[in-house]
Amino acid sequence: MKEAKKALCITISLGAVLAGAAVTAVLLWKFMENKCSVSGIECGSSGTCISPSHWCDGVLHCPSGEDENRCVRLYGPNFILQVYSAQRKSWHPVCQDDWSDSYGRAACQDMGYRNSFYSSQGIVDDSGASSFMKLNTSAGNTDLYKKLYHSDICASKTVVSLRCIECGVTGKTMRQSRIVGGSSASPGDWPWQVSLHVQGTHVCGGSIITPEWIVTAAHCVEEPLNNPRYWTVFAGVLRQSFMFYGHGYRVGKVISHPSYDSKTKNNDIALMKLQTPLTFSDKVKPVCLPNPGMMLEPNQSCWISGWGATHEKGKTSDELNAVMVPLIEPWRCNSKYVYNSLVTPAMICAGYLRGGTDSCQGDSGGPLVTLKSRIWWLIGDTSWGSGCAKANRPGVYGNVTVFTDWIYRQMRANS
Ligand code: 4AZ
């Protein structure tokens, strides 16, 4: 009897120890699998964990700022407002239910627009989303992000379409009006086009995206030209001979993409912040930054504009010229007989493989735009090419769509 009890005791103790070990192992494994399963959400893959309540609360907690990086975005050609769910690791449209312009203003501010808001309206969701974010209006006076909760449907059957700036419209009715193989522009045709001068001379082009921010190419602002003092910006003037020193806008900041590579021209994009904001008019207007989910056609018609040379080795043009160029698919542009793998995902090719029509020296930094949903979008910034308008040597442009996150981040950090 005594012996039997002893054996039972030992068996139970052993079992307990084994069970304990198993539980510890499972917990340890869970912990290894997701470092932040106990204390919240991981900052990227840094190993740092923060509480879900700190995600997108307007205060930086992660070492690289991931918690405030991507909280709201506009998606597709209809500017559908989407909110990032850190828990589900996915983007969700916002129901129009109980939405108002004041939330729209807050979302625009979160994205990097300073006191800029154009319109907010409910539209039927075309993104195919199956989960939405809804406003909890009784959540009190906390920030927008904390008032949102997941919902499978929107009572209004519509989602928020948000525009932070009136962009991508031309001065008057669009009429088809050099660059190589192009024709001169009329006032208001390309109202976002600016001329960037150094010591009274046109050096590069640029595009207006807000009253204060200009997009150009990083290769235009290589040292020592990364010093804003060198630059003067002219907007709304078609002829170089009408741009007089002292009448342009001064630049307060020049920000080059940190991953720009001067040898390969990879990430060839830069921003200029003006010292004083531009006044918009028929001739001076911003272009729209592309939203993710824009779905461009393989041969989408785009337009380039600038005061660049009208033939290879020519001099800068006095008049602003523009021309249509179709996009060229990356695989075609990277083929052996074209650019043989020199085109990275941060670049986009446009032009004709037969030659004859192209951007050229002096057009750099200027816009490559396309018309979609009756709005003009900045798809590229003029970057490089082998010569101008030669067969199998089309123009290469910075792929602005891949830089929009970076652009908004700079606007937010320097507003
Ligand atoms: C340039 O030197 C340049 N054909 C710009 C565009 C192209 C070539 C050269 C594309 O600014």
Q: How far is the CA of 312 from the centre of ligand 1 (A)?
A: 9
Tell me whether domains 52-163 and 301-400 share a fold.
Answer: no
CA of 246 to the centre of ligand 1 (A): 28
Ligand 1 neighbour 363 (Cβ under 6 A): yes
Q: Is the CB of 359 inside a 6 Å radius of any atom of ligand 1?
A: yes
8-60 pLDDT tens trace: 545 656 556 556 566 555 555 655 556 677 777 788 777 888 887 777 776 77
User: Angle at the Cα of 203 (from 198 to 207), degrees rounded to 5?
Assistant: 105
Ligand 1: does its nearest atom lie under 6 Å from the Cβ of 384? yes
| pLDDT above 70 as % of the chain | 89
Neighbours of 108 (CB within 10 A): 23
Of the listed ranges 15-29, 90-104, 300-314, the least confidently predicted one is 15-29
Q: What pLDDT is attached to residue 171?
A: 79
52-163 adopts what CATH topology?
Mac-2 Binding Protein (3.10.250)
**Which tokens sit at 347?**
């670049």
Cβ atoms 348, 272 nearer than 8 A: no
The pLDDT of residue 241 = 96
Instruction: Please give the C-alpha separations between residue 79 and each of 35, 163, 268, 316, in angstroms, as whole numbers.
Output: 35, 7, 26, 37
Q: In CATH, which of 2.60.120.330, 3.40.50.300, 2.40.10.10, 3.80.10.10 is domain 190-285+405-413?
A: 2.40.10.10
State both tokens at 181. 């193989």
Topology at the third CATH level for domain 301-400:
Thrombin, subunit H (2.40.10)
Query: What positions carry a catalytic annotation?
Result: 219, 268, 364
Closest to 226 (Cα-Cα) out of 216, 234, 235: 216
In angstroms, the CA 210 to CA 226 distance is 20
Task: Please report how the helices 404-413 and 101-111 are oriented relative to each other, as an axis angle in degrees rounded to 10.
Answer: 100
Alpha-carbon distance of 135 to 98, in angstroms, equals 7
Tens digits of per-residue pLDDT, 103-113? 999 999 989 99
Tens digits of per-residue pLDDT, 173-232? 555 545 899 999 999 999 999 999 999 999 999 999 999 999 999 999 999 999 999 999
Measured CA distances, 105 to 224, 291, 412 (Å): 38, 18, 14
Per-residue tokens: 138: 């009784």
- Domain borders along the chain are 52-163, 190-285+405-413, 301-400
CA atoms within 13 A on the CB side of 248: 25
